Structure 1
Amino acid sequence: MGVDGCSDSAIGTSVGPSRIHALEGDVGFRQFEKIGSARSFALRRGNRPSKLSGSRGVNKKILSAAICAILVGPFGAALAQDTGQESDAQELDRVIVTGSLIPQTELEIATPVISITAEDIKRQGFKDVYDVLRAQPLATGSVQDSQFSGGFTPGAEPISLLGLDPGFTLVLIDGRPMADYPLLYNGQSNFVDLSSVPTAMVERIDIAPGNQSAIYGSSAIAGVVNIILKKRIDGTNLNFRFGSYDEGGGESIRYQLTGGQSVGSGDLTYGVQASRQDPIFGFQRNDFDSTNDNPNSALQYGSRTFLRLSATQAIYHDPGQATCDGLGNLFNGSTIRDFRPNRGFYCGSRAEPGYTSIMNDERSLSGYVNLTVPMGDSNDFYATLLANHNKMESNSGSRFWAAGVDTGQIIFNQTSGDFETFQHIFAPEEIGGIDVNNERNTSDSYNLAAGFRGTFGESSWDYDAYYARAAYDIKNRQLWPLKAEVENFFREQFLGPQLGEYYGYPVYAPDVDAFYQALTPEQYRSFNSEIRSDSSTWTHNLNFQLTNTNLFNLPGGPVGFAAVLQAGEQSWENPTDQRVVNGLFWGLTGTQGAGKRTNEALAIEFRLPVFSMLTANVSGRYDQYHNKGVNSDSDFTYKVGLEFRPVESLLVRGNYATAFKAPDMAYVFAGDSGFFTSVTDYYRCATEEPTTPIDDCTFSGEGVFGTRRGAPDLESITATSWGGGVVWAPNANFDVSVDYYRVDIDNKVNDLSLDSLMQLEAACRLGQLDPGSPTCVDALARIGRSGPNAPVPNQVNTVLTNPINVSKEEVSGITAKLNYRWETERWGRFSLSSSYNVTLDHESQQYPDDPVLDLLNEPFFSSEFPNIGSLSVTWEKGGWTTTLYGARYGRTPNFAAQLTTAGYTAAGAEKVDAHVTFNGSVDYRFNDDVSLSFTVNNLLNEDPPHDRSWTSYPYYNGFNYNAFGRSFLVEVNWKLGGNQ
């Protein structure tokens, strides 16, 4: 297979299909696992070149050839013969591959695996683990990441493999699960946050797409991301990086210290990373610093910072030029007397939306320790700890207040005799600065493992017994107006005392002149309170694994075997400030819940070389979950893979697997959590406007407060997948692979449809269904209405929903990889790698009777990328290394197309242009100890694709693209001690 560095020179950099990486002067066997013989174990422990070439008595050149044989995989024997190595050197040719529990020589197996090394991350311009995973062609789905400051998880960074939910990707650290992020994605589900993994400690990242539950258990439906941490470092390495953005904001600094040393007979690896990231605000980007950038010129008017509206006539009361001039200092002097077509004049600011952050302010500190201590000739004690402390601040924009929060922000003005709205958006000058309203998350996370591994005597049985624990804690703080206090303040400020009710609306005689007065920071603080919520998750397990790479022989060679016995527990706590849940804050709601569950699992895997050309992999796993105080659920999953090698240079592979995902803790244990939404009131449409079409009915968009809670009786989500492909590697400098995948999901969890619930409730009330049936009793209990004698009789006020197992989803596609390397005597060494993913089909059905949605062509429900491709070209000569990395993201639908599929009338439905970006890096090594690199991300300063129909701020699809612009990074590396 294609392997870089497999020549007469010392160890180089891998560009072959395995992408397992060995850095010159850095690694001996750091990614290799114990195989079972005392000899191979001794060589594995002697991981530094100094030991291997000294006391261990192993020639460095022979070691280089052995590693090359390993990296070449199924063609290792041929290359070993070419280099004249002894056949017993093949004892070293077994490594742990993501997607299998059995150490083996073949790095390309039945499951395709994509590997990204630490050097790839650096050379291709990625600043952290999230960036590199988000850029991978398999990560086609849209996500709410740290750009989306208005959501439930403004500091988190998830990924969506194959366009599936973020929770369908299992994220591992060294093969062990990370703890879930304590806050809920979209206020509903659990997922893993990638921002907590520091790059300084990453050796490589493996991605195995498709079902992997038979090996790893729950959640491995879209695939597995396995982040491999460094186990061996030679000497001490210092790294300093600083960067900034072309258009301002986002300055960053990062310090890294990593090293390794012998501790008695053992080895210690350690690392520390400290970083700072400044925020970027919308007003720092010319393309969306104000509403003047709205692609629809008819919408280029300012935010209504001071607004008085006649609700009956839908027109604004003109405050006059002098009044707005008196407020002109607000929002950095941008408040003016503005005009909205068909509505009128008001005091507003076109710069107001730009006070939202699109990049968070972050400070983080991470530490890593890995210790290995020999316990005799063939056993080890090992322990590893990765810890991260992070402080994040995000700004979701300005707070606002409007009179009549419980009556649709409408009051009755006794003085004018009209129903009116008074609205005030608070400017930074009023609240005391741009950062006063920042949401602040302080998080602490860690991943810990400790255990013993080795060989039972002189047998071929290896074991690995360990305890692992991962935890994630978040302290969330934000300032928000209290409902009663802000209402009382504005009553005193200008509304005056309430004078009763008129048709259910509060009656006031407001002092309009007093309304148009800016507040002082002290006044603003008087009706605010800090929301304090401390949330946490943890997971821990005991794991015992047996492996035997020579269980018995088949015609094709020795049979490999692995078995895993696992027992663990998982916890989630999200105790939101009870005042939020009780509705005491103005216009704000939140999520809450807590629960624990235990799990046990048994997994077995066989690797069966049926004959010289055909190898089968068979694995099965049984998992059982006990949700404490609720219910239990269990699943058996299996996987069958075939590897056919008709000639040394060709691999034909295929696999079929089943998978499952235990219901998210939040789906099971969520308490009453609120949200705001709108519904169609089919009952009032039928009784009060029976001849009016539903779309034109007055009650087709009723605003309501919703309550959501978990469902204790949920069952596991199940899935099947199959795929196949070809890998061709005619020589050590070239390889190419193409693979097909398909994933079918059943029993997917989705929230109960509110539209279906409203239709069902109407049928029960109208007598079309028996009101006394269990179905109707449940539906009627979920819809809260005002009484028959209320000012607005039978008005929907509240709705109640919960998750259910009814949905289906399927996705299929093709992935391809190519690696090519060539050397010239005059011009140096070149290498090229590319990857591509195209989604052929992605369909979803929420309810059994619903139509099947084509998510690639009905974009209201998804704006995922239909295809993503990447290309990396590297040139090396002398001390110079230069890399150009490019990525192309396929065409996605514009916003008008999304509105069209939602049933609205929208002209101009089409697709936006493909998005192409380039990163470039130049690295110069002054000597064996010091190097300097310069990186430019988004080399051509490409903006997100222009979409004239995307008329909501910030005027681009922030779930697919970012608008940070071009950035520059300068990095210095300095090595102290160790071997060169």
Structure 2
Amino acid sequence: MSRHSSTLSRHPLTAAVLTGMLLTSAVTAFAQDTGTTNLDKVTVTGSLIPQTEIETHTPVVTITAEDIQTRGFTSVADVLQQSSLTTGGLQGGQTSASFTQGAEAAGMFGLSPSYTKYLINGRPMLSYPALYNGGDTFNNISGIPIDIVERIEILPGGQSSLYGSDAIAGVVNIILKERMDGSVLNVRGGTYTEGGGSTFRVSGATGFNSADDRLNVLVNAQFESSNPIWGYQRDVTKTTNGKGYTAQVPTNDFLVVNPAAGNAYLMMDPNLCANVAGQFGGTTVLGTRAAGQSCGSIYSPGYKTVKNGKDSAQVYSSFTFDASDSLQLFGDVLYSYEDVKYATGSNYTWWGTASGYGRFWDQTSGQWMNLQRAFAPEDISANGYKDILNTDRNKAYQVTLGGRGTLGNWDYSASFTRGEYKLTERNFVRWADPINNYFEEHVLGPQLGTRSGYAVFAPNWDAFYAPIPAGDFATFTGYTESQSRTWQNLGRFQLTNGTLFSLPGGDAGFAVVAEAGSEGWDYTPDERLMDGSVWGTTAVAGAGHRSNYSLTSELRLPLLDSLTVTGSGRYDAFKIGDSTVDKATYSVGVEFRPIESLLFRGKYGTAFRAPSLSDAFQGLSGYYANGSTDYYRCGQLGYAPTDTTGCAYDSVSVFGQRAGNPDLEPITADVWNAGVVWAPLSNLSFSVDYYNWKIKNEVDTLSSDQLLLAEYYCRNGLVNNTSASCDNVNEWITRDASGVLDEIYTPKMNVASQNLQAITASAKYVQELGRFGALQFSTNYTNMIKRELQPQPGDEYLDLLRDPYNMWIYDSYAKVRADGSLAWALDKWTTTLYFNYVGKTPNYLAYAGNGYDYVHPSGAKAGKWGSYTTYNLSVNYRAAENMTFSVMVNNVFNKMPDNQASNYPGTSGTPYNNYFYNIYGRAVYVQAKYEFGGK
């Protein structure tokens, strides 16, 4: 088989980059000559054509297996979430009660995780069956066995002309090992010095090679178990905020309010909480706030997990078989199983009258009332919240079979991939009728009639302010089980010619790829979540499938020794429901090398995201649009839509429904980048790149205001420039016979636009120290220059970099991020110090006060939290030729976001930005790696 190798004198730019990758690969690499070297042409993420150049028109960030080990990364998710490109806040195990708490996500440049294309061995990952933030399709990156990762390549910027839909922010290609000579066993254990979260991981891999080396098989298995971290195991979250700008107060665990008096608190317990003093570990007391008194505990927020517990197992295998000199068969299979456990705490485990009764009249006191009763661990069982954990069970597989070979000067590859992802969510719930019946029987008593349409009761206050008797909690609680799945089929054929014809700068390269496939999504909640059987919780169903095909081509033209131009184009078509959505994308890249050590590069292209299955087929969900303006009826009274002050219909409440929309158009983007790479020495290189995005047709739910405004224009025969057409108005707005708004429908639509600008930079340096070994330094930096969002057509653009309110609402992200490492290799030792830097972010009061100038009456000021840096330290010792011991300490200085607490009120149970920071603290891991049976 032709491997297309070539011999060349390595110039300083290539040498600097390669040398920067050598330290973690092998300590002895520092002694190697950096002169003339044979370089094979290889295919890297960002091009279909094999080439020898390490730096091209497209920047690629590579994290090797050795980087993962020495920098203390514990998972693929950890690698990507700590990347300097990940400037946005994320939902996951650290954010209790998020929609996908059992999954891990990552994104780039603050854009949604769904805007990044994730690949495994160059093939698209399966979508996660549940929806990120309740409405967005994304990839769960937690089920990948990290010990078998060869490298992770991150390709920033729009890449749809090569990789199709979803590659607006960039592409991440997770490349697993294909071959192994011999076997390896890894055993790793660790814990957090603050408590909780202890982990144990064991993995083994072996390679089987035939005597003539025609058949190569790799098999890997990995098992990991980790305990959760509970809020009560960290000072920041074990109580309500004790360092806030208002006084610390207990939570409202036993609360009576008067909704007719501005929800003023009523203390109805003559014993002043004495009977419930044993709740929450004996910490429940009488609490006083401005609204009145209640019974509660400052410790109740601690009974939730802030890091999931998890048991997981993965099996991966790959093979290659040389059927002939010109044909190689290949295949791989990855199976993943995860059991993720978490608790949402008393903040989400309670009962109240507002949802079932609206309010009630207390016949004894003659007042309107609502009750709120949180459940303490003593109410649940001897083990408390540990006995009612939610469980997300993930099962996924992906199988690829194919062949590749050569026909003359052409290389070809054909493959078929099949994958399926199944999710079972076992969620703890309160049954609606049983819980209401229980409290009617034990607290409210029999209904004594009605008053103004509301129930009348004479509550038993001794029963309300009392623990739940043993066993009673189980009579009105239980579990639902929701099933969901995604599946994907993909056939792929590629032809490549690296020597299509000769040009002054070398051989032109050409590649063409044809793909066709199908994918589906089915989210089926437990029926009891849909029919009202569950108290305080509902769900949204959805199902659909789409088929697709695409054609991609790439042409690389080395016009001169110093100038190379690369162009690529792709056509994608998706059959979604009864519609076909298609999109053509292209890009043109330029590499200019005026001297061997200097590269100027740039690329312009288009990118897109096809309507996802959830965007098209998500089911109906209801809501109330309070404070809406009925522009049409105000217009009948003579009011213009620009000024409805004084109109009787300026603030109305209307019931609405929202759902997916199979008629959506693709999200589109124009993306370009330009940069420079400079290697003044063979052991030193720098790069700086600028990125620019203009994104249009983003999918969001049409606002009730836009729909009602469109109705005004349509009914009055005026020009309608809103996203809703006049046909939409007729179909989506319902009025009764007298003209009163009855119902509106606001499906997902292409309504939003974004403009982004960012700068990235990196540096690599290697210094040999003779008998003192060698040093390597590398760093990466990202700075968001511009981030503006237009939520709806015609709206003003929101400055998400300088407007703290919208920065929190839309993303919660950092403007600047950086990371880097300093490694020292000496004989059998390698020591690495890794740092991760988060720049200043707006504090809570800047969000709550809607500006950096806000000052709370207490004197607390809006502003920004200072920069946040953590350090990881690892030491690796090769005790024998086949044995390596490692010690890793992550977050060496036990950095916590506790300095953020002073900017939150004393009522907060999470006084830090948990979408961006965590409170895990220092972790210590030890690992032993044993290699045997190698040649």
TM-score of the aligned structures, taking structure 1 as reference length: 0.86
| Equivalent of residue 914 in structure 1, options 855, 867, 870 | 867
Q: Residues 954-965 of structure 1 correspond to what in structure 2 (within 5 A)?
A: 954-965=910-921
Equivalents in 2 of 1:861, 1:640: separation in Å? 35
Per-residue deviation, 1:580: 1.6
Equivalents in 2 of 1:657, 1:205: separation in Å? 24
Alignment-derived partner of residue 884 in structure 2: 931
For the 8 Å contact 2:345–2:385, the answer to whether it is kept is: no
| Equivalent of residue 400 in structure 2, options 449, 452, 462 | 449
1:33-58 CA deviation, whole Å, 9 max, x = no partner?
xxxxxxxxxxxxxxxxxxxxxxxxxx
Equivalents in 2 of 1:114, 1:208: separation in Å? 6
For the 8 Å contact 1:404–1:506, the answer to whether it is kept is: no
1:350-401 CA deviation, whole Å, 9 max, x = no partner?
1111112110010000111011111111211111011110000111112111
Q: Residues 322-361 of structure 1 correspond to what in structure 2 (within 5 A)?
A: 322=271, 324-340=273-289, 342-361=290-309
Equivalents in 1 of 2:324, 2:815: separation in Å? 54
For the 8 Å contact 2:853–2:862, the answer to whether it is kept is: no
Q: Residues 313-324 of structure 1 correspond to what in structure 2 (within 5 A)?
A: 313=261, 314-320=263-269, 322=271, 324=273
Which piece of structure 1 moves more, 730-739 or 268-277? 730-739
Decide whether aligned partners of structure 1 residues 17 and 191 sit closer, same or farther in structure 2, where only a CA change above 3 A counts.
Answer: farther
For the 8 Å contact 2:72–2:873, the answer to whether it is kept is: yes
Q: Residues 740-819 of structure 1 correspond to what in structure 2 (within 5 A)?
A: 740-757=690-707, 800-819=745-764
Q: Residues 304-453 of structure 1 correspond to what in structure 2 (within 5 A)?
A: 304-313=252-261, 314-320=263-269, 322=271, 324-340=273-289, 342-398=290-346, 399-408=349-358, 410-432=359-381, 433-453=384-404
Which piece of structure 1 moves more, 825-834 or 679-688? 679-688
| Equivalent of residue 526 in structure 1, options 459, 475, 479 | 475
Which piece of structure 1 moves more, 858-867 or 774-783? 774-783
Letter matched to residue 631 of structure 1: S
For the 8 Å contact 2:363–2:457, the answer to whether it is kept is: yes
Per-residue deviation, 1:632: 1.0
Alignment-derived partner of residue 903 in structure 2: 949
Per-residue deviation, 1:775: 6.2
Please state if 1:540 is matched with 2:494.
no
Decide whether aligned partners of structure 1 residues 131 and 704 sit closer, same or farther in structure 2, where only a CA change above 3 A counts.
Answer: farther
Which piece of structure 1 moves more, 704-713 or 391-400? 704-713
Decide whether aligned partners of structure 1 residues 660 and 379 sit closer, same or farther in structure 2, where only a CA change above 3 A counts.
Answer: same
Q: Secondary structure at the match of 2:141?
A: coil
Please state if 1:638 is matched with 2:586.
yes
Equivalents in 1 of 2:854, 2:732: separation in Å? 32
For the 8 Å contact 1:14–1:21, the answer to whether it is kept is: no
Q: Secondary structure at the match of 2:409?
A: coil
Alignment-derived partner of residue 974 in structure 1: 930
For the 8 Å contact 1:124–1:921, the answer to whether it is kept is: yes
Equivalents in 1 of 2:449, 2:257: separation in Å? 21
Letter matched to residue 673 of structure 1: S
Q: Secondary structure at the match of 1:978?
A: coil
Which piece of structure 1 moves more, 716-725 or 259-268? 259-268
Equivalents in 2 of 1:593, 1:542: separation in Å? 26
Decide whether aligned partners of structure 1 residues 557 and 921 sit closer, same or farther in structure 2, where only a CA change above 3 A counts.
Answer: same
**Which segments of 5 or more consecutive residues in structure 2 lack a partner in the other structure?**
1-6, 8-13
Q: Secondary structure at the match of 2:849?
A: helix
Q: Secondary structure at the match of 2:43?
A: coil
Alignment-derived partner of residue 137 in structure 2: 190
Which piece of structure 1 moves more, 530-539 or 947-956? 947-956
1:98-145 CA deviation, whole Å, 9 max, x = no partner?
100001111211000000001111111111111111111111111112
Q: Residues 87-102 of structure 1 correspond to what in structure 2 (within 5 A)?
A: 93-102=40-49
1:778-804 CA deviation, whole Å, 9 max, x = no partner?
55876789999xxxx97x997642211
Alignment-derived partner of residue 108 in structure 1: 55
Decide whether aligned partners of structure 1 residues 974 and 848 sit closer, same or farther in structure 2, where only a CA change above 3 A counts.
Answer: same
Equivalents in 2 of 1:260, 1:699: separation in Å? 74
Q: Residues 220-299 of structure 1 correspond to what in structure 2 (within 5 A)?
A: 220-263=167-210, 265-293=214-242, 295-298=244-247
For the 8 Å contact 1:25–1:234, the answer to whether it is kept is: no
Alignment-derived partner of residue 658 in structure 1: 606
Alignment-derived partner of residue 798 in structure 2: 853
Equivalents in 1 of 2:418, 2:220: separation in Å? 20
Please state if 1:669 is matched with 2:614.
no
Letter matched to residue 869 of structure 2: V
Per-residue deviation, 1:639: 1.0
For the 8 Å contact 1:14–1:22, the answer to whether it is kept is: no
Per-residue deviation, 1:406: 4.2
Per-residue deviation, 1:449: 0.9
Q: Residues 835-874 of structure 1 correspond to what in structure 2 (within 5 A)?
A: 835-862=780-807, 863-874=812-823
Alignment-derived partner of residue 170 in structure 1: 117
Equivalents in 2 of 1:496, 1:777: separation in Å? 52
Please state if 1:722 is matched with 2:669.
no
For the 8 Å contact 2:630–2:649, the answer to whether it is kept is: no
Decide whether aligned partners of structure 1 residues 250 and 703 sit closer, same or farther in structure 2, where only a CA change above 3 A counts.
Answer: farther
Equivalents in 1 of 2:425, 2:366: separation in Å? 45
Q: Secondary structure at the match of 1:611?
A: coil
Equivalents in 1 of 2:100, 2:743: separation in Å? 25
Equivalents in 2 of 1:698, 1:895: separation in Å? 36
Taking only the aligned residue pairs, the percentage that are identical comes to: 39
For the 8 Å contact 1:385–1:447, the answer to whether it is kept is: yes
Per-residue deviation, 1:575: 1.1
For the 8 Å contact 1:309–1:421, the answer to whether it is kept is: yes
| Equivalent of residue 616 in structure 1, options 565, 584, 589 | 565
| Equivalent of residue 629 in structure 2, options 654, 665, 682 | 682
1:209-247 CA deviation, whole Å, 9 max, x = no partner?
111111111100000000011112221111111111111
Q: Secondary structure at the match of 1:16?
A: helix
| Equivalent of residue 765 in structure 2, options 820, 823, 827 | 820
Q: Residues 498-509 of structure 1 correspond to what in structure 2 (within 5 A)?
A: 498-509=447-458
Equivalents in 1 of 2:718, 2:585: separation in Å? 44
For the 8 Å contact 1:301–1:350, the answer to whether it is kept is: yes
Alignment-derived partner of residue 179 in structure 1: 126
Count of matched residue positions in the alignment of Structure 1 and Structure 2: 897
Cα RMSD, aligned residues only = 3.3
1:457-514 CA deviation, whole Å, 9 max, x = no partner?
xx11111100012321100111211222221221111212333332232222222222
Decide whether aligned partners of structure 1 residues 140 and 834 sit closer, same or farther in structure 2, where only a CA change above 3 A counts.
Answer: same
| Equivalent of residue 551 in structure 2, options 602, 608, 622 | 602
For the 8 Å contact 1:923–1:932, the answer to whether it is kept is: yes
Per-residue deviation, 1:678: 6.2
1:689-719 CA deviation, whole Å, 9 max, x = no partner?
x9xx999999999998753211111011111
Equivalents in 2 of 1:372, 1:586: separation in Å? 54
Per-residue deviation, 1:163: 1.1
Decide whether aligned partners of structure 1 residues 489 and 758 sit closer, same or farther in structure 2, where only a CA change above 3 A counts.
Answer: farther
**Which segments of 5 or more consecutive residues in structure 1 lack a partner in the other structure?**
1-5, 7-12, 27-60, 73-78, 84-89
Letter matched to residue 754 of structure 2: E
Per-residue deviation, 1:68: 8.5
Alignment-derived partner of residue 409 in structure 2: 460
Decide whether aligned partners of structure 1 residues 610 and 777 sit closer, same or farther in structure 2, where only a CA change above 3 A counts.
Answer: closer
Per-residue deviation, 1:883: 0.6
Equivalents in 2 of 1:468, 1:284: separation in Å? 44
Per-residue deviation, 1:421: 1.0
Letter matched to residue 714 of structure 1: L
Per-residue deviation, 1:769: 12
Q: Secondary structure at the match of 2:848?
A: helix
